[in-house]
């Protein structure tokens, strides 16, 4: 018997139920088996339609349909464009047959329908979703550098109109819960149970025997009008400029949003089938391009590997673990954030500070965030009160008794960290996992204060903790696998993404992040216009410019870290830090100009109380040179290149030195923790994007021109010679 991904059942009322159920996978995807199965299914529907009253499309999986087959898609290069477009055209042909069958077709969405899954549902005349709290609906292809290529753009625009369709569904790639999807108009009805869902689908079919898509009915008019409608025509010219503003000038590195906009507007001016062809051409161009490959690798394959436990010790040896009680030492900015995310995950929290008032302020931070959620209708008052009650603010270390994990988040001072570590461990059992939130100090050294270095580990959170998705787990030289497994599980428990790195000064994220910041100051030292430096970062795809970032971090802290590092290197008999032109600039900002950063209202930027920040005017006089006030296009492109190359070279060094344990950790860590431009796919994937051989050649040019910091490590030279890439 031929294998199929679609089961056919016809009941006594002659209603056919098509159950999507790929026997080769735990999820349904638009793979070769699906395409062949759907072709056979729609052919049978056409042949037997005289004996059919309607069709229900549902799924046997936990999700309705997972979307496109990304394993196949990521392999498609420009040379496969014609073949790829033909395959996409066939998928759309099948869905077009389904919606023009002349019989009512209902999608019974038992779970998540994203991307291709929702596109199947959009080709049905009615969409009824199960009120499943885990279910999500939407067309998130833009986040992978793609557009919905299975008819999603064409149908959404005809359902919702150009403006609503673009803004509310297509351009942002929102993933919506059932209620939101209903209000957005991408599903029509919600059912509380599977039985009710199917019953509603059957009832609708029987009540609507002549169902058609709105766009197939004579006299159909697109909501909001077409591009030739005067009111819409007046607004359309603003769309591209708004997109440029949204992408901060980096639109060339994010071709998907522009392609979605073009497919929508061009498709709205022609008939439905011609619009599908236009959509298909734009989709193919994106799919075979390198930008989508980067984003698919990072946001699907690398992220899936990490969240799936790729960096975690075996669950067979170390079973899945959940923390029940967490102690947090230090109720400052980081400690209070860690307390919040822990309590939100249902973990009991003891928040300790040297003063009771400070501990209370730390708890008040959670209260404020909870009140905000309640005011937005995201949480009930009762649920918020339960979460808040989980946090106990105190100065009493004895209240840590029974804690299975303690995280110190005190000042970056070894003596203070050692003191609080000893006090916490004295109050807890031998199985306690002791963690430090340090961002720079080596874990191996901090573990010397612990009674059990095997259970001492680094948990580096990012600020603000409630918003930043990453936690960097740092393994000291003596940290054991059991501590790693527990730390990894805790990070997943609080709904963060964990990467695992080995110990070193600055670990991975702080070390590489520092190169981005300091390269921006090096440019300032060379005399480049500070506005050009910040704009180069924006157009390269970085979320914030290096000067603005340093203001956030604080220049005084930056100098303290540098001086501590120099002191440590000298004590260890290691070579000093290389001479860097950025250092005198930072010293001058602190010593002469007294401008340490945002916290003091004065750094590279001015921070007016009643307006937006702007570059401090005296910065131009102090550092900018006349011949570099207006960089040429080539100079500006090189500024962008330097900011990205500098980070990727340092990431490659981390990989060579064994600080990074996997390519996935490097790519996801750099995007989620540092803000590496998402279009690159991460710092090591950026090297793949350029091509390792070409990257090494260009890095050597930059090193000859700007200094040894751009010299590629031996690892990259060896990879270039062997034709290898980061996998």
| Mean pLDDT, residues 641-653 | 98
pLDDT number for residue 521: 98
* 80 is an active site residue: no
| Predicted confidence (pLDDT) per residue in 568-577, tens digit | 888 888 888 8
Q: Where are the alpha helices (DSSP H) in 436-480?
A: 443-446
- Percentage of the chain lying above the pLDDT 90 cut: 91
| Predicted confidence (pLDDT) per residue in 518-570, tens digit | 999 999 999 999 999 999 999 999 999 999 999 998 999 899 888 888 888 88
- Choose which CATH entry (3.40.640.10, 3.40.50.2020, 3.40.50.720, 2.70.70.10) describes domain 325-504: 3.40.50.720
- Asked whether the predicted pLDDT for residue 290 surpasses 70, the reply is yes
Q: Which of 257, 214, 286 is nearest to 68 (CA)?
A: 286
Domains 6-288 and 509-658+660-722 share a fold: no
Q: How confident is the model at residue 6 (pLDDT cuts 50, 70, 90)?
A: very high
Q: Which of 161, 32, 173 is nearest to 115 (CA)?
A: 173
CA 183, 187, 189, 190 torsion-angle sign = negative
Measured between alpha carbons, how far is 664 from 682 in angstroms, rounded to an integer?
Answer: 9
pLDDT number for residue 645: 98
| Predicted confidence (pLDDT) per residue in 202-257, tens digit | 999 999 999 999 999 999 999 999 999 988 888 888 888 899 888 988 999 999 99
> Mean pLDDT across the chain, nearest whole number?
96
pLDDT number for residue 1: 58
| Mean pLDDT, residues 366-381 | 95
β-partners of residue 174 are: none
Measured between alpha carbons, how far is 146 from 140 in angstroms, rounded to an integer?
Answer: 9
pLDDT number for residue 561: 85
Q: How confident is the model at residue 30 (pLDDT cuts 50, 70, 90)?
A: very high
| Mean pLDDT, residues 74-94 | 95
How many CB atoms sit inside 10 A of residue 81's CB? Answer: 16
DSSP letters of 6-43? Answer: EEEEE-TT-EEEEEE--TTSSS-EESHHHHHHHHHHHH
Measured between alpha carbons, how far is 599 from 552 in angstroms, rounded to an integer?
Answer: 7
User: Which backbone phi and psi does 499 adopt, to 5 degrees?
Assistant: -115, 150
Tokens coding 603: 């750094």
| Distance between start and end Cα atoms, the chain | 38
Cis peptide before 464 (omega within 30 of 0): yes
pLDDT number for residue 572: 83
| Predicted confidence (pLDDT) per residue in 388-443, tens digit | 999 999 999 999 999 999 999 998 888 999 999 999 999 999 999 999 999 888 99
Q: How confident is the model at residue 448 (pLDDT cuts 50, 70, 90)?
A: very high
Catalytic option among 125, 291, 460, 706: 460
| Mean pLDDT, residues 191-206 | 98
pLDDT number for residue 440: 82
509-658+660-722 fold:
1.10.1040
Measured between alpha carbons, how far is 243 from 227 in angstroms, rounded to an integer?
Answer: 18
Domain definitions of the chain by residue range: 6-288, 325-504, 509-658+660-722
DSSP letters of 184-236? Answer: HTS--EEESSHHHHHHHHHHHHHH-TT---GGGSTT---TT--TTSHHHHHHT
Q: Where are the alpha helices (DSSP H) in 527-632?
A: 530-540, 546-553, 555-571, 582-591, 618-623
- Percentage of the chain lying above the pLDDT 70 cut: 100
Superfamily of structural domain 6-288: 2-enoyl-CoA Hydratase; Chain A, domain 1 (3.90.226.10)
- Asked whether the predicted pLDDT for residue 628 surpasses 90, the reply is yes
Whole-structure pTM value:
0.93
| Predicted confidence (pLDDT) per residue in 333-351, tens digit | 999 999 999 999 999 999 9
Q: Where are the alpha helices (DSSP H) in 631-711?
A: 633-657, 663-669, 683-690, 692-706
The CA-atom distances, in angstroms, between 695 and each of 253, 621, 671, 689 are 18, 35, 20, 9
Question: What is the DSSP secondary structure assignment for residue 521, as one 8-state letter?
Answer: H
Helix pair 272-287, 81-99: axis angle to 10 deg: 140
């Amino acid at each position: 018997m031929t294998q199929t991904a679609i089961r056919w059942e016809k009941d006594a009322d002659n209603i056919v139920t098509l159950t999507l159920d790929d026997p080769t996978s735990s999820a349904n995807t638009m793979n070769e088996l699906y395409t062949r199965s759907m072709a056979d299914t729609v052919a049978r529907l056409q042949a037997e339609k005289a004996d059919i009253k309607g069709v229900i499309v549902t799924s046997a999986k936990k999700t309705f349909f997972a979307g496109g087959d990304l394993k196949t898609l990521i392999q498609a290069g420009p040379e496969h464009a014609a073949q790829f477009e033909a395959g996409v055209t066939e998928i759309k042909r099948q869905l077009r047959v389904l919606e023009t069958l002349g019989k009512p077709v209902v999608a019974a969405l038992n779970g998540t329908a994203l991307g291709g899954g929702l596109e199947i549902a959009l080709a049905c005349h009615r969409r009824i979703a199960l009120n499943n709290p885990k279910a999500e609906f939407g067309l998130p292809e833009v986040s992978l550098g793609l557009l919905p290529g299975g008819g999603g753009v064409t149908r959404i625009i005809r359902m919702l109109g150009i403006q609503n369709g673009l803004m509310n569904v297509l351009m942002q790639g929102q993933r919506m819960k059932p209620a939101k999807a209903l209000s957005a108009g991408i599903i029509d009805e919600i059912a509380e149970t599977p039985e009710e869902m199917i019953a509603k689908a059957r009832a609708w079919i029987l009540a609507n025997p002549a169902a058609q898509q709105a766009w197939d009915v004579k006299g159909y008019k697109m909501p909001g009008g077409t591009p030739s409608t005067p009111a819409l025509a007046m607004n359309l010219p603003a769309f591209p400029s708004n997109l440029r503003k949204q992408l901060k000038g980096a639109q060339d590195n994010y071709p998907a949003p522009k392609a979605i906009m073009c497919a929508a507007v061009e498709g709205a001016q022609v008939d439905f089938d011609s619009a599908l062809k236009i959509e298909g051409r734009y989709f193919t161009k994106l799919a075979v391009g390198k930008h989508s490959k980067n984003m698919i690798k990072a946001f699907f394959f690398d992220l899936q590997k990490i969240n799936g436990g790729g960096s975690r010790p075996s669950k067979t040896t170390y079973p899945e673990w959940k923390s029940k009680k967490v102690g947090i030492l230090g109720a400052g900015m980081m400690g209070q954030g860690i307390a919040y995310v822990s309590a939100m995950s249902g973990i009991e929290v003891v928040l300790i500070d040297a003063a009771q008032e400070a501990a209370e302020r730390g708890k008040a931070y959670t209260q404020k965030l909870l009140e905000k959620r309640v005011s937005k209708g995201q949480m009930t008052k009762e649920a918020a009160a339960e979460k808040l009650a989980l946090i106990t603010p105190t100065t009493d270390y004895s209240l840590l008794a029974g804690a299975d994990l303690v995280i110190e988040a005190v000042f970056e001072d070894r003596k203070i960290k050692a003191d609080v570590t000893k006090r916490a461990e004295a109050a807890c059992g031998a199985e306690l996992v002791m963690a430090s939130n340090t961002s720079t100090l080596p874990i191996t050294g901090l573990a010397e204060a612990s009674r059990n270095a095997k259970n001492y580990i680094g948990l580096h959170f990012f600020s603000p903790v409630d918003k930043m998705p990453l936690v960097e787990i740092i393994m000291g030289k003596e940290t054991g696998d059991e501590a790693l497994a527990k730390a990894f599980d805790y990070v997943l428990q609080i709904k963060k993404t964990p990467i695992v790195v080995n110990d070193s000064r600055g670990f991975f994220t702080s070390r590489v992040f520092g190169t981005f910041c300091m390269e921006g100051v090096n440019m300032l030292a060379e005399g480049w216009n500070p506005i050009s430096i910040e704009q180069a970062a924006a157009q390269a795809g970085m979320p914030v410019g290096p000067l603005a970032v340093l203001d956030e971090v604080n220049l005084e802290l930056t100098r303290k870290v540098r001086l501590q590092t120099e002191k440590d290197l000298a004590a260890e008999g290691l070579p000093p830090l290389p001479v860097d032109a950025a250092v005198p600039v930072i010293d001058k900002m602190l010593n002469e100009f007294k401008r340490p950063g945002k916290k003091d209202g004065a750094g590279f930027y001015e921070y007016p109380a009643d307006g937006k920040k702007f570059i401090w005017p005296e910065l131009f006089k102090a550092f900018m040179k006349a011949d570099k006030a207006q960089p040429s296009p080539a100079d500006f492109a090189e500024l962008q290149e330097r900011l990205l190359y500098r980070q990727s070279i340092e990431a490659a060094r981390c990989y060579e030195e064994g600080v990074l344990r996997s390519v996935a950790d490097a790519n996801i860590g750099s995007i989620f923790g540092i803000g590496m431009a998402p279009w690159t796919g991460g710092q090591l994937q950026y090297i793949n994007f350029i091509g390792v051989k070409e990257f090494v050649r260009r890095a050597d040019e930059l090193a000859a021109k700007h200094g040894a910091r751009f010299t590629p490590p031996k690892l990259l030279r060896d990879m270039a010679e062997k034709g290898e890439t980061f996998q």
